[in-house]
């Protein structure tokens, strides 16, 4: 099995994809902060990530390698996990976007995204060091 196809890397890549999708959803909410009646949405990150990385009964074709399991399609899982946040406060136009909370969610999501990129970068750097030490360079 290659490092790119191991369970940790697949999980990290799925997490990055979901963080990216969540960033898009949160940015859409912020862009509609002045839209009357707008109901903000969010992505249930942890539940979706678990459903994406759990192996399914999909078989790997012979000769391609792998452990016989696959991950669920990301697009299907993330669409099922989009939820509406009905946090309509004292807004006269019934807009549910609180810009301060939305900016905090965006910052938190961005921080997690950067951390996951760093973990992935370090994993690949460790592999590079191992290859370099084996080849004597």
**Ranges 6-10, 14-18, 114-118: which has the least confidence:** 6-10
pLDDT in tens, 76-127: 555 667 888 766 666 667 788 999 999 999 999 999 999 999 999 999 999 8
**With the CA atoms of 41, 24, 95 and 88 taken in that order, what torsion angle do they form, in degrees rounded to the nearest 10?**
40
Provide Rg for the chain, Cα atoms: 20
pLDDT band at 64 (very low <50, low <70, confident <90, very high): very low
pTM attached to this predicted model: 0.71
pLDDT of residue 68: 40
According to DSSP, the residues that pair with 82 across neighbouring strands are 43
135, pLDDT greater than 50: yes
Structure tokens at 59: 């078989």
Give the Å distances, CA to CA, from 134 to 5, 28, 73, 110. Answer: 21, 48, 36, 36
pLDDT band at 129 (very low <50, low <70, confident <90, very high): very high
136, pLDDT greater than 90: no
**Average pLDDT over all residues of the chain:** 79
> What length does the chain have?
137
pLDDT of residue 10: 86
Give the Å distances, CA to CA, from 132 to 2, 5, 38, 103. Answer: 17, 21, 54, 43
Residue 54: CB atoms within 10 Å: 10
**Is the CB of residue 59 less than 8 Å from the CB of residue 68?**
yes
């Amino acid at each position: 099995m290659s490092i790119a196809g191991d369970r940790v890397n697949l999980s990290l890549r799925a997490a990055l994809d979901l963080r990216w999708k969540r960033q898009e959803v949160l940015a859409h909410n912020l862009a509609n902060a002045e839209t009357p009646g707008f109901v903000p949405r969010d992505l249930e990150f942890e539940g979706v990530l678990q459903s994406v990385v759990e192996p399914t009964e999909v078989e790997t074709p012979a000769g391609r390698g792998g452990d016989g399991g696959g991950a669920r399609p990301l697009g299907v899982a993330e669409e099922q996990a989009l939820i509406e946040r009905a946090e309509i406060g004292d807004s006269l136009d019934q807009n549910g976007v609180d810009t301060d909370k939305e900016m905090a969610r965006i910052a938190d999501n961005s921080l997690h995204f950067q951390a996951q990129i760093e973990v992935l970068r370090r994993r690949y750097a460790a592999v590079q060091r191992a290859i370099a030490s084996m080849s004597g360079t």
